[in-house]
Structure 1
């Protein structure tokens, strides 16, 4: 039952959007933990739900390893299973911790311990060893009222609400007592979200528009880094840009240019001047190399009417660098050169400039890090994320990636401009809605008016604090309720 219930949870996310699915997974997880006779059985039961959920939800990892890892299908399957198993350990920890704490500290109900333990586990999964903040609980609620809480407290507030709602539902099914205070908090959260849904509040102010063209090259992943492909691809990107010089901004995908920045900059001199003469800024992905040629960087370059060079800060383990490379590198070069030898950029980098506008840039995987986006958005008028999801073929991975970008737009009150190699290239408005989208696996361009905004949402200002306030409210209400009940029993 645990495996099936966990797998159902993956249907809450894009492209399925069956939002009750994740609640089913968490309710079953909570029921199995609460009714476990021992901590060991709680761990095994929790692991079964986690295995079903992550096995279905991140199955797309197998595609990249099997197709491009040069390790064979069996090894690719083993690597994928090992990855899923690592993700499951955080839920196993939550199952063990909530079972132990629920029986040791009875002044708080087990449902609250489940919420706190799972939230801590998901936070650890999102931060340790660069983190993997994918399929967090809060991403399951795009089509519910809770989506409106994103500008208030971001993905962690919505995640806390999802976990709390599910664990309280499980306790209610078991007719556990002392759930009333938590039910009150759940009702307040959902009620507040409903109010914001029907009476929307504008936290930001529009300051202008920017005609923007996104170029989707649709270069096959296994041909992308070939010498004979590089020139043809670059010629296409340049020609598509020349045909759209009436746009103020043109964006190419991640590593659209496969030559290094020092190689391309002199060659681009005349082209950059032509762009500047038409008040057009080009932003493109490009690899850069240090002067001593010891370090490579996955970069974004702005040229023409704009300027700036940004180095990717969050690298994908085994995709852009090999952890413990001196030991693992000779055995397991999963994705091949040069993508597995990048170096991370500095944490403090300025935004890019597009004429008078500030642009917060994010390369591929970086858009999943809500706190990194939050810190950079203060100096920006809109967000740009460039990606190459060609690694994942026709799997659900690119759709989940697009959904995550929608959440960053809603949290920050900014347009997100998303240019990708094979799709899904899109414009996302400040409310998190996709307003224009290019088809997958086609060489094409997409043009729309991107809106610039100023101002900060409460989440941009406060970060984690709304989530911490909600949890503090749960602890205080539960403790006071338990204290009152204890005094009433002793009085009789």
Structure 2
């Protein structure tokens, strides 16, 4: 069993090579058949579950190593967490790999086992989005979000089945070589079919005409600006200077006189914009009275005690036109989960907003705001009953350093654009800022560690996608049907054996 677990760990590490930003997809065609083989060698479902846990541990230790980065920023206080954070989180997430492996053991080898594994793997990932506040990071569906045309083609089915549906497809197709040469050939044919379907959808997409000019501002401030008032004010002034340049560029390339919108990153303003008239005046004097600015900020509640991680919308020096409060907070980063008795964060942290919303601001297209971590929650970012025309994502990825974290976070945001059929503008304090159209095609990008702006016509929306209508029910039903098909084949094989 010891050698088996070592192999499971190796296969898990190999599988992590397919994650962003490496995108080495062939690694899954090695690691998944390897996992299937190891499950078949297990003497019991408990051993199979342990194999799955070990596989998931290897996968997530590599895929989540960047978790150490924000801890190191506060190393003086949290140094003791460094050796435990990544292995502990990898072990916890690995449980959601152990369950599908254990259930797949009950199915006989061959197609039934592949179907049960693919279906239950997807259901486990769906559970991972909700259990213990949820941590839907690095779903295998994002492995096909490869930068460039090939990735844009392969992510198109997410408009129907979401990133979790793509995960199911990946698990099944990459496992097929476990069936031998015929399985490998079938896998190749299915991948070609996948690309053809994606290409057809991409070529037939007819988005609405641009209704605004978007300027995405990236100031490249270090994570310390959150607690260093002097650094925060200096960064605010930098955002003013970059915004002035973005407005000049937008005005020079705006023959249709479209409204101009500037998007600042998370907590870009150290001032309370809802009450600080001086800060609003400074922004208005910099960008002009007709430019709309959507800025990350902090906001105090009416009680004067609760504090929210927010986005404020302003035009001119007057009161805010609208605001949005982040509702999917980062556990241990923005609040202390009640179910953990160990106190890690000082105080009570941030208060929670009311959920996804659409901001209707006169003069600009209706916008669906999301802040940082919220962008990884498939099917939970848009108020579908009041559908916006675009998504504004503000984040501060300086916490992740120059690691895989910002790249993985970017890939998640791109998937949300495809799922919802909405263009997405992403402003990241230190990168990666980007503009995606409603098909997930990257229009512009500003990389890590750079100051600057992205100015372009805001891509138009597409009609509501199937995923926009069905949400997480789409991949859930697909996963259940896949699992039931596997079980049906199991019963059929056993009936044939009896006869």
* Superposition TM-score, scaled by structure 1 size: 0.86
Decide which of 155, 163, 175 is 2:171's aligned counterpart. Answer: 163
SS of the residue aligned with 1:270?
helix
Q: Would you say the 8 A contact 1:298–1:311 is kept in 2?
A: yes
Q: Would you say the 8 A contact 1:215–1:240 is kept in 2?
A: yes
**1:83 matched to which residue of 2?**
89
- The Cα shift of 1:73 comes to 4.3
Say if 1:439 and 1:138 are closer, same or farther in 2 by CA, change over 3 A: closer
Distance in 2 (alpha carbons) for counterparts of 1:270 and 1:136: 44
Say if 1:126 and 1:476 are closer, same or farther in 2 by CA, change over 3 A: closer
**1:25 matched to which residue of 2?**
31
Decide which of 244, 256, 261 is 2:268's aligned counterpart. Answer: 256
Say if 1:230 and 1:380 are closer, same or farther in 2 by CA, change over 3 A: same
Identify the range of structure 1 (47-56 vs 469-478) with the bigger mean alpha-carbon deviation: 469-478
Say if 1:325 and 1:78 are closer, same or farther in 2 by CA, change over 3 A: same
Identify the range of structure 1 (183-192 vs 51-60) with the bigger mean alpha-carbon deviation: 183-192
- The Cα shift of 1:370 comes to 1.2
Distance in 1 (alpha carbons) for counterparts of 2:334 and 2:352: 9
- The Cα shift of 1:169 comes to 3.3
Q: Would you say the 8 A contact 1:60–1:396 is kept in 2?
A: yes
Say if 1:209 and 1:483 are closer, same or farther in 2 by CA, change over 3 A: same
**2:210 matched to which residue of 1?**
208
**2:3 matched to which residue of 1?**
none
**2:403 matched to which residue of 1?**
395
- The Cα shift of 1:71 comes to 3.9
**1:413 matched to which residue of 2?**
421
1:296-315 CA deviation, whole Å, 9 max, x = no partner? 10000011078310000100
Decide which of 314, 326, 329 is 1:315's aligned counterpart. Answer: 329
User: For the aligned residues, what is the CA RMSD?
Assistant: 3.2
**2:235 matched to which residue of 1?**
233
**2:475 matched to which residue of 1?**
467
Q: Would you say the 8 A contact 1:360–1:377 is kept in 2?
A: no
- The Cα shift of 1:23 comes to 3.9
Distance in 1 (alpha carbons) for counterparts of 2:201 and 2:99: 40
1:65-116 CA deviation, whole Å, 9 max, x = no partner? 12225345453121222112111111122222332x437xx99922222223
Q: Would you say the 8 A contact 2:118–2:482 is kept in 1?
A: no
Distance in 2 (alpha carbons) for counterparts of 1:154 and 1:38: 34
Aligned residues: 475
Task: Please tell me whether residue 117 in structure 1 is matched to residue 129 in structure 2.
Answer: no
* Superposition TM-score, scaled by structure 2 size: 0.85
Identify the range of structure 1 (237-246 vs 431-440) with the bigger mean alpha-carbon deviation: 237-246
Decide which of 358, 367, 372 is 1:364's aligned counterpart. Answer: 372
Task: Please tell me whether residue 287 in structure 1 is matched to residue 295 in structure 2.
Answer: no
**2:16 matched to which residue of 1?**
10
**2:41 matched to which residue of 1?**
35
- The Cα shift of 1:405 comes to 1.1
Q: Would you say the 8 A contact 2:240–2:283 is kept in 1?
A: no
Distance in 2 (alpha carbons) for counterparts of 1:65 and 1:460: 36
Residue segments in structure 1 that go unaligned for 5+ positions in a row? none
Say if 1:352 and 1:225 are closer, same or farther in 2 by CA, change over 3 A: farther
**2:222 matched to which residue of 1?**
220
**2:245 matched to which residue of 1?**
243
Identify the range of structure 1 (380-389 vs 13-22) with the bigger mean alpha-carbon deviation: 13-22
Distance in 2 (alpha carbons) for counterparts of 1:479 and 1:9: 26
**1:436 matched to which residue of 2?**
444
Identify the range of structure 1 (435-444 vs 315-324) with the bigger mean alpha-carbon deviation: 435-444
Alignment of 1:295-310 (within 5 A): 295-304=306-315, 307-310=321-324
Distance in 2 (alpha carbons) for counterparts of 1:292 and 1:374: 28
**1:458 matched to which residue of 2?**
466
- The Cα shift of 1:420 comes to 0.9
Q: Would you say the 8 A contact 2:53–2:97 is kept in 1?
A: yes
Residue segments in structure 2 that go unaligned for 5+ positions in a row? 1-6, 251-259
Identify the range of structure 1 (41-50 vs 415-424) with the bigger mean alpha-carbon deviation: 41-50
- The Cα shift of 1:377 comes to 8.9
Distance in 2 (alpha carbons) for counterparts of 1:222 and 1:231: 12
Q: Would you say the 8 A contact 2:306–2:350 is kept in 1?
A: yes
SS of the residue aligned with 1:298?
strand
Say if 1:354 and 1:254 are closer, same or farther in 2 by CA, change over 3 A: farther
- The Cα shift of 1:46 comes to 1.5
1:1-31 CA deviation, whole Å, 9 max, x = no partner? 2222211222212221211223433322222
SS of the residue aligned with 1:321?
coil
Alignment of 1:92-103 (within 5 A): 92-99=98-105, 101-102=106-107
Distance in 2 (alpha carbons) for counterparts of 1:274 and 1:472: 56
Q: Would you say the 8 A contact 1:251–1:419 is kept in 2?
A: yes
Say if 1:317 and 1:354 are closer, same or farther in 2 by CA, change over 3 A: farther
SS of the residue aligned with 2:327?
coil
SS of the residue aligned with 2:290?
coil
SS of the residue aligned with 2:221?
coil
Alignment of 1:126-205 (within 5 A): 126-142=129-145, 143=150, 146-170=154-178, 172-173=179-180, 191=193, 193-198=195-200, 200=202, 202=204, 205=207
